[in-house]
Amino acid sequence: MFSTAIVRTPGKSMINGLTTAHLGVPDYERALVQHQSYIKALTECGLNVTVMPADEDFPDSTFVEDAALLTLYCAIITNPGAASRKGETLKIREAVSRFYSDIEEISEPGSVEAGDVLMVGEHYYIGLSGRTNLAGSNQLIRILENYGMTGSIIELEHVLHLKTGVAYLEHNNLVVSGEFVNKREFAGFDKIVVPDEEAYAANCIWVNDTVLVPAGYPVTARKISDSGYSVVEIEMTEFQKLDGGLSCLSLRF
């Protein structure tokens, strides 16, 4: 169970965020409303939510998930692969240090964005992506092992981050889309398969047996609800324009 989340209000500079989506420029006011709904949903799932103020210097800084990996035993500050995102970690470290005394970090030449890291109990799957490199993945595995946890590497083909296309809902249930449907590494899971036309909905989050799903993906929402979860739909259009999904907007621990 999670008790706490950290989020960061988007800044007006989000309109300059990194994107490959071709869905237009985010509407800042609408993004703020959507972010408020996200916070409300986490709160209703029982989490205490720490809201960091916007940081205009970093257009993608609302996607806090990428800057740290929070485990049961330690926090790991990442080293984002995107040059414009590297400086995000400074304030994330400050926020995280209120909750953790053991804080580790990924350093050059290693890069990791924790959107590439999928937690399944005490094992962490690490996606090798354009943002997370082999040196960073190996550093991360060493850190995890020092605390009695494990990690393994998965090569990504098309997605930005591992969790762009896969989500773990506990109880051995894995939501998968696209390249992950038949991935050998995930053969042992019970799979909830997201249809190609709803691929964005593969980035959903388990929060204490409620699953937050982006609004507008009825087939996926139904499949998850049929698997026994209560489903809450969140409008995410303005973050989708920056390739961001539900997991990216919070650190949950």
Binding mask 103-132 for ligand CIR (x = CB under 6 A): ------------x-----------------
Of the candidate spans 16-24, 32-40, 104-112, 222-230, the one that interacts with ligand CIR by CB under 6 A turns out to be 16-24
Q: How far apart are CA 224 and CA 21, in angstroms?
A: 25
In contact, 232 and 46? CB cutoff 8 Å:
no
**Number of neighbours of residue 87 by Cβ within 10 angstroms:** 14
Of the candidate spans 132-140, 157-165, 169-177, 191-199, the one that interacts with ligand CIR by CB under 6 A turns out to be 157-165
Give the chain's end-to-end CA distance (angstroms, integer).
8
Give 155-180 as a DSSP string.
E-SS-SSHHHHEEE-STTEEEE-GGG
Of the candidate spans 189-197, 210-218, 223-231, 245-253, the one that interacts with ligand CIR by CB under 6 A turns out to be 245-253
**Number of neighbours of residue 15 by Cβ within 10 angstroms:** 16
> Least distance in Å: CB of 167 to ligand CIR?
11
45: annotated active-site residue: no
State yes or no: residue 17 binds ligand CIR (CB under 6 A): yes
Tokens of 4: 């706490």
> Least distance in Å: CB of 111 to ligand CIR?
12
Of the candidate spans 99-107, 161-169, 192-200, 217-225, the one that interacts with ligand CIR by CB under 6 A turns out to be 161-169
Q: How many residues does the chain have?
A: 253
Residue nearest to ligand CIR (CB): 115
The residue count for binding ligand CIR (CB under 6 A) is: 20
161: annotated active-site residue: yes
In the chain, what's the furthest Cα-to-Cα distance?
A: 44
Instruction: Identify which of residues 143 and 166 has a Cβ nearer to ligand CIR in the complex.
Output: 166
In contact, 214 and 238? CB cutoff 8 Å:
no
State yes or no: residue 19 binds ligand CIR (CB under 6 A): yes
**Number of neighbours of residue 135 by Cβ within 10 angstroms:** 16
Tokens of 193: 């398969």
State yes or no: residue 178 binds ligand CIR (CB under 6 A): no
The correct pick among 63, 125, 200, 253 for binding ligand CIR (CB under 6 A) is 63
**How many degrees, rounded to 5, is the angle at CA 247 between CA 235 and CA 55?**
85
Q: Give the catalytic positions in this structure.
A: 161, 248
Q: Residues interacting with ligand CIR, by CB under 6 A?
A: 17-19, 60, 63, 65-66, 82, 85, 115, 160-161, 163-164, 242-245, 247-248
